[in-house]
Each structure stands twice: as C-alpha cells, then as structure tokens.
Amino acid sequence: MEDRDDYDDVSMDRDLERYLRYLEKSVRELQVEKKSLMDELGQCRIELEKMLQPPLIEAVVIDVLPDGRVIVKSSTGPNLIVGVSSRVDPSGLRPGVSVALNNRGSEIVEILGTREDPLVTAMKLVEKPKTKYSDIGGLEEQIREIREVVELPLKNPELFRKLGIEPPKGVLLYGPPGVGKTLLARAVAGETNATFIRLVASELAQKFIGEGARIVREVFALARKNAPSIVLIDEIDAIAAKRIDIGTSGEREIHRTLTQLLAELDGFDPLDNVKIIATTNRIDILDPAILRPGRFDRIIYIPLPDKRARKEIFRVHTRRLNIKGEIDLDMLASITEGASGADIKAICTEAGYIAIRAGRDYITLEDLVEAAKKIMSKKGSGISGVVDVETPPTAQNKQAAYQHI
C-alpha cells in the first residue's frame, strides 16, 4: 500500500514538473510577444507623432543678414525674414539653397540643400525621338539651314574658331499649323547626340511673381550642365508677344519671364554649346527684341507644301502602309492642293480606316482618294477636276430645304 502511495507521489511530481516547464515556456513566449508588441507600439507612436506634426514650408535662401537672420523666398509667394533654429548649422545657409520653415514660417528648422525643380528635370528627354530627316518630305532647304545653325557648331566648333566668327545661338521656325515645325525639331533631336530639352512656352506662365523667370534660369542652367544640348521652346508666342505699357498683373509677370528669356539668350553668361530652337505660327505678334540677330540668328519659314513637296510627304507616309497595287503620287499631290503635312498624314490614316470598314488588311489608291476627298472637304479646300467634293450644307441650302418641306 505504501509502495503504491509512493508511486502516486512520484507521478504527481513529474506531472508538476512538466506543467512547470510548460508554464516557463509559455512565459518566455509571452515575453517575446510582449517585446514585439512594444516595438510595434513604439513605431506606431513615432508614426502618430509624425502625422500630428504640422507640415513644413519650403523656401529658398536669398541672403543672410549680418545679425544672423535670413531672407528667404517662401513657396507660398512672399519674401520673409526668418530666424535660424539652434539645430541648424548657419554655415550651410547660402543663396539658392532650399530650406524648410516651421508651420508659422518664422524659423528655419532644416536645410534641404540645392535641388533641381522636378518640372525642369522632366523637360529633359531621356529617350531620343526616332524621327530622322528622312522622315520629313519637301523641306530639304529648311533641313539644310537648321543643320547649319544647330548641328554644325556642335560637331565642328573649330571651323568657326578658324573663321573668327561666333556660331549662331538659335533658330526660329515659323509657318502655318501642321507644316512640320515640331517634327523638324524632333528630327534634330533624333539625329544629334546632344542632350535635348523640350518645353512648351505656356509652362513658363506661372501664378507667383518670379516663378516663370526662375524656371527659365533653371532650364538654361540644366542645358549648360548637360552641354552640348539643344533647347526646344514650342509655341514661343505664348510668352514672347509684343510688350505693352498697360496690362494686367498676369501680363506683367509674362513680361518678366520674357525679359529673363532675352537675358539668357543674349546676356552676360555665354551659351557655349547650347543651341535654341523655337517654333511659332504667330510671328506677327512676337516682340521685336526676340527677333533681332544675336538671339535668333536664323529665322526659317516653313511654308505649306507645294505639289513637289506634297508628293514627297505622300512618299514618306505611304512607305509604311500595306498598299496593294500602284499608287499615283502625282495624282494624290494634285488633288490635295493647300494641304499641310499634318493633313496628308490624316489622309493616310483615314485611308486605313476605310480599308478596315471594307474588311481588308491592305490599302488601295481608291481608299487614299476617298480619304483625301473627306479630309480636304473638312479643311474647306475644293478638289476640282479629279474627284467630286461633297460640300457641307450652307445656310441658304438649309433654308431652301426647309421651304421645300
């Protein structure tokens, strides 16, 4: 009987030991879990504090005053005179450096350093256009001129040094819409190894005073940094219209931007290996100051294509098409009098849609003629002697039809 009691006691001790080890293991696991949860709680508290902190205001240092205060241009618009936090090293504060102000905008709390505006950086083309001079038809003389102004100084600068002349700085392309001004600029980018920076002039029209001029400065600084480079300013008439004495505040800001552009084109700092290409279809409204030699040394007119040029443009666009049968390019050029290069491209595209509607995977001459009839009738030019043009109903025709009804 005693032996049995002893066995029960030993068995109970073993069970207690196993249960004790289980509890110890559970405690250790809970301690590890507690540590993990505490770490997560600490991270949540840090994130919560960041979320509760007021946002900082970006500004650019203009000047450092003798008393240690700093003049900054706030991103909200006005210039401010602010103090410097004790955590900021004053030796890093130089004109042009970006800084962060506290929510009240009364103290510099962090130095952000010098950085490029993302809007300006995005203007730099990373991938070159695939357009080549061979993709442009009917503009042989204009291509020769723009290559002399843009490519020759970049590829053979010693030639100009031997002659003792200063290479041209820029070229202005003007003409009616759709004649290939921007296409020609894309071909220059595709044919040269220079850095290509493209912007539309309307991007320089900014809300705050001085912002447009700042973007102009940064664009040309980026061009000089990445020289040899080419800067394309598309639709330059958006900021280069003739200046007037009386105008709104927005017009005066445009004038400030234009003044900065004029200074960059022919100012104190040389452009070196930076060439400018500008395009417009309203040369009649441009300010005379931007048209003088020294800024745009070559002004090239891109006209509407004549019959020979239209034939070449048709040749360029039709060589990519899946065409069945012979194509009479002379006839197509004859029936598209007054068409621009963009119109001819639209004709080729419309011919493809006509073939699709007919259930074909190829284009015929009849498709091109029908497409020319449709595009030219919309444009308002008559195609006489070859195809019949269906003219849109006039007001008199509509009135006669109503009377007939």
Structure tokens at 124: 């730099």
pLDDT band at 163 (very low <50, low <70, confident <90, very high): confident
Q: What is this structure's pTM?
A: 0.67
Show Cβ contacts of residue 306 under 8 Å, excluding neighbours closer than 6 positions: 138
Give me the chain's average pLDDT, please: 80
Structure tokens at 109: 């709390």
Q: What is the mean pLDDT of residues 157-186?
A: 85
Residues in the chain: 405
What is the predicted pLDDT for the residue at 357?
92
Structure tokens at 352: 């493809």
What is the predicted pLDDT for the residue at 110?
86
pLDDT band at 74 (very low <50, low <70, confident <90, very high): confident
Q: What is the mean pLDDT of residues 134-138?
A: 81
Res 10 pLDDT > 60 = yes
pLDDT band at 400 (very low <50, low <70, confident <90, very high): very low
Nearest-angstrom CA–CA distance, 211 and 117: 11
CA distances from 26 to 17, 19, 108, 114, 357 (A): 14, 10, 52, 55, 76
Nearest-angstrom CA–CA distance, 378 and 334: 17
What is the predicted pLDDT for the residue at 121?
67
For 325-372, the pLDDT digits (tens) are 888 888 988 888 888 888 898 999 999 999 999 998 889 999 999 999
What percent of the chain is modeled with pLDDT above 70?
Answer: 84
Q: Which amino acid is at 222?
A: L
Res 384 pLDDT > 70 = no
What is the predicted pLDDT for the residue at 352?
92
For 230-281, the pLDDT digits (tens) are 888 888 888 888 877 656 666 777 888 888 888 888 776 677 788 889 999 8
What is the predicted pLDDT for the residue at 353?
92
State which of 24-38, 40-54, 288-302 shows the largest mean pLDDT: 24-38
Nearest-angstrom CA–CA distance, 220 and 195: 12
pLDDT band at 190 (very low <50, low <70, confident <90, very high): confident
Sign of CA dihedral 150, 123, 234, 270: negative
Nearest-angstrom CA–CA distance, 254 and 205: 6
What is the predicted pLDDT for the residue at 117?
66
What is the predicted pLDDT for the residue at 341?
87
What percent of the chain is modeled with pLDDT above 90?
Answer: 6
Nearest-angstrom CA–CA distance, 26 and 30: 6
Res 380 pLDDT > 70 = no
Rg of the chain (C-alpha set): 35
Q: What is the mean pLDDT of residues 1-16?
A: 67
